[in-house]
Amino acid sequence: MEAKQSMSQSEFLRRRLSRNCNLVLNVLDETQKLMSAQEIYLWLKDREGEDGPGLTTIYRAIDMLIGHELLQSVNFGDGEKRFERIEPGEHHHHLICVRCRTSVRLESCFVDQLEQRVRQIHDFVIHSHIFEIYGMCQNCLTEANLD
Ligand SMILES: [Zn+2]
Ligand SMILES: [Zn+2]
């Protein structure tokens, strides 16, 4: 039998989170997708019926989870933020298709080097950065060419 890994930081945090926060995390873990608050709400309503949390409660849980660095907000450029599961200290960047709104997570952060330069040139202390790339995915390019 394999040795069990020690409890991750997020696992530890989860035990102290409210039921609603855990519900939101469970949805994202289960779907493995980036979802908006509205999508999470509808998914839970489908699953839990009238016992599911309301939209305001979901927003509150999301704020809490972002504060704990268990969620990252991603701007899809369409006015509706999507949320992605992360581990504390992590952050991701994405390629976002403006036609079908699919996203691909980039494997690494390309902004770190830029940050070093900015720090040197501008003597500026950087706390965080947001960096997404918008364009068209292969599927949409093919379909757009067929139109
Ligand atoms: Zn697309
Ligand atoms: Zn980055």
| Distance of CA 55 from the midpoint of ligand 1 (Å) | 28
pLDDT score, position 3: 47
pLDDT in tens, 24-78: 999 999 999 999 999 999 999 999 888 889 999 999 999 999 999 999 999 998 9
Query: Ligand 2 is a single-atom ion; what residues have CB below 5 A from it?
Result: 109, 111
pLDDT tens digits, 85-139:
999 989 999 999 999 999 999 988 988 888 888 888 998 888 889 899 999 999 9
**CA 91 / ligand 2 centre spacing (Å):** 6
Domain with residue 119: its CATH number is: 3.30.1490.190
Structure tokens at 133: 């790339």
Separation in Å, CA 112 to CA 30, 34, 91, 95: 31, 24, 12, 18
Local confidence band at 4 (pLDDT 50, 70, 90 cut-offs): low
Question: Does one domain contain both 63 and 83?
Answer: yes
- Enclosing domain of residue 57: 1-90
Work out how many domains the chain is built from and give that number.
Answer: 2
Please tell me the predicted confidence (pLDDT) of residue 123: 87
- The CATH number given to whatever domain includes residue 69 is 1.10.10.10
Instruction: Show which of 52, 68, 90 is a domain's final residue.
Output: 90
Q: Are residues 61 and 103 in the same domain?
A: no
Q: Are residues 109 and 124 in the same domain?
A: yes
